[in-house]
Chain A
Amino acid sequence: MKRQIVVALAGNPNSGKTTIFNQLTGARQHVGNYPGVTVERKEGLRRHGDTEIRIVDLPGTYSLTAYSEEELIARNFIIEEKPDVVVHVIDASNLERNLYLTVQLMELGVPLVMALNMSDVAKSKGYRFDLKKLSHRFGAEIVETVGHKGRGIRELLDAISSTAEAKRSPGKEKGKPAAGSLSARGSIRGAPSRSGGVRYGEEVEKQIAVVQSLIERDDGIRGSYDARWLAVKLLENDGYLLERIGSMQIRNQVSRGADLIEKATGQSAETVIAAARYELIFTICQETVHSQGQPRPSLSDRIDAVVTSRALGIPLFLVLMYLVFQLTFTLGDPPMGWIEEAFARLGESVSSWWPEGSESPLKSLLVDGIIGGVGGVIVFLPNILLLFLAIAILEDSGYMARAAFIMDRLMSKIGLHGKSFIPMLIGFGCSVPAIMATRTLENRRDRLATMLVVPLMSCGARLPIYALIIPAFFPRAWHAPMLWVIYTTGILLAVLSARLLRSTLLRGASVPFVMELPPYRMPTLRGVLIHMWERGWVYLKKAGTIILGISILLWAATSFPSLPEEESARFEMSRSQIQQAELTEEMRAEMLASIDNEEAEAKLRHSFAGRFGRALEPVLQLMGFDWKIGTALVGAFAAKEVFVAQMGIVYSVGEADEESESLREKLRSSYTPLVGFCIMLFCLISAPCMATIAITRRESNSWRWALFQLGGLSVMAFVITATVFQIGRLMGIGGV
């Protein structure tokens, strides 16, 4: 007889919750998103005896207020989806603060199991727990675990089973089962609420009673939540729940009650209520926790004395960031080369299925569209895996919080978070892993703002464009300063845009910046590998499909419609004329190549991309661009460096790279240095490549933000480039 139960895993960040989740589920995990938000939802399965346990990893939270998206999701999951058991993973070496969440889970009245994790660390710190008493006080089974060693997992599963069993037949164990939340249908489950567990003091209790009695008489709200729990939350000024109260009478009573509490105690109602929970915890800890020996400076404190010190903090940070960057891009470079090579070979061997020189749309679709597109997806994998290897180590070791601590002053001036630094830095390599790295930011607004401005950090794929253009237009002495100007412009624009976003669209309520600095820990190989694997897989599945789709579209845009018969025939004819003419082999080859190049140009000009470029010409002219540049820019949406190859095609110089002197020659004769500068400026700011859009879509969990990024950056690029061009032209800078 097989049955399924649902278990929610709750816990503070840094409590080892993820390790416990990995231990419970192994590789049987599934990563998704909660609808409409950027928060990830992880699930996994575990068999225990005849029970199949579905484990949902709730976001790590310190509390269950409506303070953040994560907390709301965790709370709503517990209230609305009613898991059979909630397991609270607790860092036993940091018990008091962790128990704050336990108290709130207890108030919700859920069937609770407490996993006292890192119990080995707690013991080494000299703590001894009276588990029996602790279990009694919280009305929950307690299991000691050591997540990274897998200790206590079996016992935890047993406790989950027996708690689920007790909930099923509440008669057996009185007072244990759930009650806090009522089902949507309004039927109360289990015994009365346990929120009686916390006594909030005379004045608060008086106000709770008044609000509670109003709730119990209100038909609209009664039955959706436990009345006492709701009363407490409302007095705590819980925005999410207040919005759901229709009755003006209740709302007025809540604000009157909160005022009275403040008058009587001299503190805001929220403070008084939170303090009462901590007092209860203090009392419980006095009874159940025995500490032996004097606390001496821990290893973690001694590390911090160096790592975050005034003298060494910043140099060490810079060295580590340099290493992260090097690891991601220098080490990632060879495998990227192999992947490119492998796909090029695959393309060649598929091409050979067709007779030489034949032009088949199917061949083009297979080779340039699909194989090229899949290659374009996979080529990012080495960077992503290596970056997340580095990030997992930084996070699991506890250094990430220190990095934020060190950089916060600087980043907060821009309106961002200390943790925004890493994504911005990685942005110089590639926006795709950089945007994935914004995942380390907890606050949604910080995360979105960082994500949106990351493409302004000039990525590695734009370098070939600069490398082509700078030597084409500027004397040697200007090369380095030019490059510096471009990069600095990007950084300045990123800073300004971030500030602008944070003070307009993403303006945050003045939420205090409080961040735990967790003790340093040794990252485990298993944890790091799972993290890497997870990110790589999410990228392939969620972003990869979008990237592949767009690259096929772009392939179609540059390949169709194909040249009319008579034009192709004309090129064919010139070819055969040359074949028959009396020429040296060398001359013949040269002339044939030049015909191939002309045909490629004619094809591109005739394609949708070429037509689009030409249609846009009136707008492009404001920036000094012609249709050729416009067409190359369409191609650059696939990947920035494609711009160079496309310019090669529109200027009929054949296959060009950034070192191509013949292409530089053409550019010099067609454009002024001012236009050359404007091309670089536009490529720096404008529409990031499609892979960036795809990853923004995935990480923000919304097309709206992705399209906003695309549109916003394109408009900004146009306005700035056009302004620079027009001013430059009027002032006669850079030749007319």
Chain B
Amino acid sequence: MNVVSKLGVLAPGQKAKILKIGPGAGLNRRVVEMGLTPGAVIEVERVAPLGDPMDIKVKGYHLSLRRRETQHIEVELL
């Protein structure tokens, strides 16, 4: 049984698979369009010097996300 958590709490270097995006439909459209779809594997690369946002790697490229936006993203640690 793998650990399920929110994307925002992951530490740099941790890898995870996205389980679920949502709720709050419209809010997450852009997140999904940028490739954070259920099933996608992501890796947290680093956190900005001031503690937010975070730099994650998805589909081979780097994406910056604010912690607030990662609250709705449920992941399974790999």
The reply to whether the CB of A497 lies closer than 8 angstroms to some CB of chain B is no
**Number of residues of chain A lying within 8 A (CB) of chain B:** 49
Tell me which residues across on chain B come within 8 A of A237, comparing CB atoms.
25-26, 29
Which residue of B20, B48, B51 is within 8 Å of A405 (Cβ)?
B48
- What DSSP secondary structure best describes chain B's contact surface? mixed
The residue from B20, B35, B48, B60 contacting A406, defined by CB atoms under 8 A apart = B48
A562 at the interface (CB under 8 A from B): no
Contacts A405-B55, A514-B30, A514-B31 given; indicate if A270 touches B25 (C-beta within 8 A).
yes
With CB as the reference atom, state the residue of chain A lying closest to B26: A237
Query: Does A670 lie at the interface of the complex (its beta carbon under 8 Å from any beta carbon of B)?
Result: no
Stretch at the interface among A271-279, A347-355, A700-708: A271-279
Q: Mark B35-75, 1 if CB is under 8 A from A, else 0.
A: 10111100001111111110100011111111001000000
B27 to chain A minimum Cβ distance, whole angstroms, is 6
Q: Report the minimum CB–CB distance from A289 to chain B (whole Å).
A: 11
A to B contact number (C-beta, < 8 Å): 143
Q: Please, which residue of chain B has its CB at the minimum distance from the CB of A291?
A: B60
CB-CB nearest in chain B for A125: B60
Q: Do residues B25 and A517 form an inter-chain contact, with CB atoms below 8 A?
A: no
Given contacts A409-B52, A514-B69, contact A267 B38 (CB under 8 A): yes
Least CB separation from B18: chain A residue? A275
A residues 137-154 near B (Cβ < 8 Å) are none
CB of A275 within 8 A of CB of B34, answer no
- Residue from the list A295, A314, A512 in contact with B49, Cβ < 8 A: A314
Q: Among residues 480 to 512 in chain A, which have CB atoms less than 8 Å away from a CB atom of chain B?
A: 509-512
- Across-interface contacts of B63 in A (CB, < 8 A): 514-517
Expressed in whole angstroms, the Cα–Cα distance for A270 and B31 within the complex equals: 11
Q: Which residues of B contact A409 (CB under 8 A)?
A: 48, 50-53
Q: Is the CB of B40 within 8 A of A62?
A: no
A267:B22 contact, CB within 8 angstroms: yes
Residues of A near B33 (CB, < 8 A) are 62-63, 65, 67, 100, 274
A515 partner residues in chain B, CB cutoff 8 A = 63-64
Q: How far is the CA of A279 from the CA of B49 in the complex (A)?
A: 35
Chain B contacts for A196, CB-based, 8 A: none
Chain B interface (Cβ < 8 Å from any Cβ of A): 20-23, 25-35, 37-40, 45-53, 55, 59-66, 69
Instruction: Beyond the given A94-B61, A267-B21, A408-B66, please list 16 additional residue pairs across the A-B interface where CB-CB is below 8 A.
Output: A63-B30, A97-B34, A237-B25, A269-B25, A270-B25, A278-B37, A301-B45, A309-B46, A404-B64, A406-B48, A408-B52, A409-B48, A512-B69, A513-B66, A514-B63, A516-B61
A-B complex: 7 closest residue pairs judged by Cβ atoms: A409-B50, A517-B62, A313-B49, A275-B37, A268-B25, A512-B69, A274-B32
30 A-B pairs in the complex with CB atoms less than 8 angstroms apart: A63-B30, A63-B33, A67-B30, A96-B59, A97-B34, A267-B38, A268-B28, A270-B26, A271-B32, A271-B38, A274-B33, A275-B37, A279-B37, A304-B46, A304-B55, A304-B62, A308-B55, A314-B50, A401-B64, A405-B48, A405-B53, A408-B66, A409-B52, A410-B50, A509-B26, A512-B28, A513-B66, A516-B61, A518-B61, A519-B61
